[in-house]
Amino acid sequence: MLFNVELPYKGTFKGGEVLKVSVVDPSSNESLATTIHVEDITAPKSPTVKPITSDNPLVVGTAEVGSTIKVKLPNGKVISTKVGKQGNYKVKIPNNFKLNGGESLIITATDVSGNTSEEITVKVTDNTAPTNPNVNPIDKDSKIISGTAEANATIKIKLPNGKVFSWKCR
């Protein structure tokens, strides 16, 4: 006989919890219990992430306790870590992978039941000062200053009288 019972239980079950179901006949004979495990089919919330900068390449944030954080780098490599008991995680970007700013990292959390959060994309902020410009020598009659500097940076020239001029480096 098919049965369908609504439990008079006000709480909610957590994934992995165990319920035991048995049958009692009209003569009060009880069957052995069948054990069922509550399935967790709910994806965790997306992890929170603090700003990521070029001068401090750490991915730090919070997520569901016990879940696994995956950080996908722009080259496709994935770095993983477990979320601690307080819900915090930290992933160090390898020293051989330089973040200059502008790169996007994709971050997810996967809970112990294998459910994965929606991915979030975090853009790396450029906090690293450019290297000093390489300036060609000039003489007292020169009006042209030339040299090399970081692409797309702004060149600032301060004259002896305190005036400052700026140009975009191409």
Q: What is the pTM of this model?
A: 0.72
Per-residue confidence at 106, pLDDT binned at 50, 70, 90? very high
Least confident among 8-12, 48-52, 101-105, 123-127: 8-12
Domain membership of residue 70 as a residue range: 48-123
- What average pLDDT does this structure show over 39-58? 93
Residue at 93 is within a domain: yes
Q: Is the pLDDT of residue 170 over 80?
A: no
Q: Is the pLDDT of residue 56 over 80?
A: yes
Q: Is the pLDDT of residue 25 over 90?
A: yes
Between 32 and 168, the more confident residue is 32
Q: What is the CATH number of the domain that holds 76?
A: 2.60.40.10
> DSSP letter string over the chain?
----------S---TT-EEEE--B-TT--BPPPEEEE----PPPPPPEE---BTTB-EEEEE-STT-EEEEE-TTS-EEEEE--TTSEEEEEPPTTS---SS-EEEEEEE-TTS-BPPPEEEEPB--PPPPPPEE----TT-----EE--TTPEEEEE-TTS-EEEEE--
Please report the pLDDT score of residue 7 as a whole number.
Answer: 87
Per-residue confidence at 11, pLDDT binned at 50, 70, 90? confident
d(CA 110, CA 13): 19
Least confident among 5-14, 24-33, 61-70, 94-103: 5-14
Residue at 90 is within a domain: yes
Structurally, the chain folds into a number of domains equal to 1
Residue at 2 is within a domain: no
Please report the pLDDT score of residue 43 as a whole number.
Answer: 93
Residue at 72 is within a domain: yes
Please report the pLDDT score of residue 142 as a whole number.
Answer: 87
Residue at 135 is within a domain: no
Please report the pLDDT score of residue 10 as a whole number.
Answer: 86
Residue at 88 is within a domain: yes
Residue at 29 is within a domain: no
